[in-house]
Amino acid sequence: MVDAERAFLDELGGDCDLPAGAHATVMGDLLTVRGMLASRDASVLLRDTQQGTDGPTVGRSVARALVARGGASMLDR
């Protein structure tokens, strides 16, 4: 589970100042990753949830989904 959460933050290029987070849970063989990304002033909050069996893959996929839905403008790249 930790690998999924770390992959999420790594995909976003996150550090301690990025308002983003992920939470992973496991039920049986299925991993669920919930991620969120907020603007620095918290005026915009994006969320996504995905499931799969490979933690890092699911974590990165959640991050990419948030970027595609407008999160790119929230990242200092």
CA distance 51 to 8: 13
Assess whether pLDDT exceeds 80 at residue 73. Answer: yes
Q: 1: Cβ–Cβ under 8 A, 6 or more apart, which residues? A: 24, 25, 26, 31, 55
pLDDT band for position 14 (50/70/90)?
A: confident
In the CATH scheme, what architecture does the domain 2-74 have?
Answer: 2-Layer Sandwich (3.30)
Whether 64 has a pLDDT exceeding 90, the answer reads yes
Of 42-46, 49-53, 58-62, the poorest mean pLDDT is in 42-46
End-to-end CA distance of the chain: 26
Mean pLDDT over 12-26 rounds to 90
Q: How far apart are CA 32 and CA 77, in angstroms?
A: 27
Residue of 24 and 73 predicted with greater confidence: 24
